Amino acid sequence: MTHYRPVSSLTRERISLLALLDWTYRRQRAGAESDPGTDLARLSASLCPTATSLSAARLGALIPSTAARQRPVLHPDAALVADMVARLDEGPGRALLLAHAEAGTQPSWGENQHLEPVLRDGVPLVIEAERVEIRYPNRTRRSVAVSYCPVQLWPSEAWVQMQRAEYSRWYQALATLAIRLEPAPLRRWQVDGLGIVAAPWNKQG
């Protein structure tokens, strides 16, 4: 069992959990599945044997390379966070957490919902509702047709509710991870809040 020495909170940098995940997966690339040396190994294997021999002859010695077996060093905090994420219960929440952490994004929750005209055959639908009589200052009158274009919310309410349910699953996974990271012996970072709110749509308007 590996034992960690406790690190004073005074010597650590404060960071939100959202920013910590971004650092872990996008800066440290803790979720990278491919070996960084794979491309080097493939390149070495593709070299012509004759060219390799000539290159070694020019150097006067055969110097074996270890480039294909080298990997960048993963910061202990990134390794710890990635391990904690891997220990979360499998399901949509963890999948969402990983996908957005690696992409540096957040789930949508309907924040861009807006009104759009109803279209018919690709053009706005125009409906003539009624005719009204307009009285002019010179006391003349004129019957005018009143038309309007109906509008609708886009995306639909059903789609927004689905987005918000997905956001809630993502948020719950973050909240669970935050609880598990509280006693974790992070060396550089100290988690200071999640960096997001549970239901941002409740603060609209």
Dihedral pair phi/psi, residue 148, rounded to 5°: -150, 160
Give residues with Cβ within 8 angstroms of 10, minimum separation 6.
none
CB 201 within 8 A of CB 110: yes
In the numeric block, the tokens 């990983």 are attached to 98
- Domain borders along the chain are 9-36+71-113+159-203, 114-154
List the beta bridge partners of residue 151. Answer: 117
Rounded Cα distance between 59 and 98, Å, is 47
Flag whether the pTM goes above 0.75.
Answer: no
pLDDT at 97: 96
Q: How far is CA 162 from CA 4, 12, 73, 157, 166, in A?
A: 42, 39, 40, 9, 6
Bridge-based pairing state of the strands 123-124 and 119-120? antiparallel
Q: Which two tokens stand for residue 60?
A: 């006067």
Number of C-beta neighbours around residue 19 at 10 A: 16
Choose among 87, 101, 46: nearest CA to 68: 46
Is the omega angle on the peptide bond into residue 155 within 30 degrees of 0, that is, cis? Answer: yes
Q: What is the dihedral of CA 110, 115, 117, 119, to 10 degrees?
A: 10
Task: Give the per-residue pLDDT at 129.
Answer: 77
Give the per-residue pLDDT at 65.
55
- Helix H or strand E encompassing 70: none
Q: CA angle at residue 175 from 170 to 181, to 5 degrees?
A: 125
Whether 17 and 178 have beta carbons less than 8 Å apart is answered as yes
Per-block mean pLDDT, blocks of 10 residues, the chain (205 long): 51 93 94 48 43 54 54 85 94 94 93 87 83 84 84 89 96 96 93 94 73
Q: Are 25 and 200 in contact (CB under 8 A)?
A: no
Question: According to the model, what pLDDT value does residue 204 have?
Answer: 58
pLDDT for 126:
85
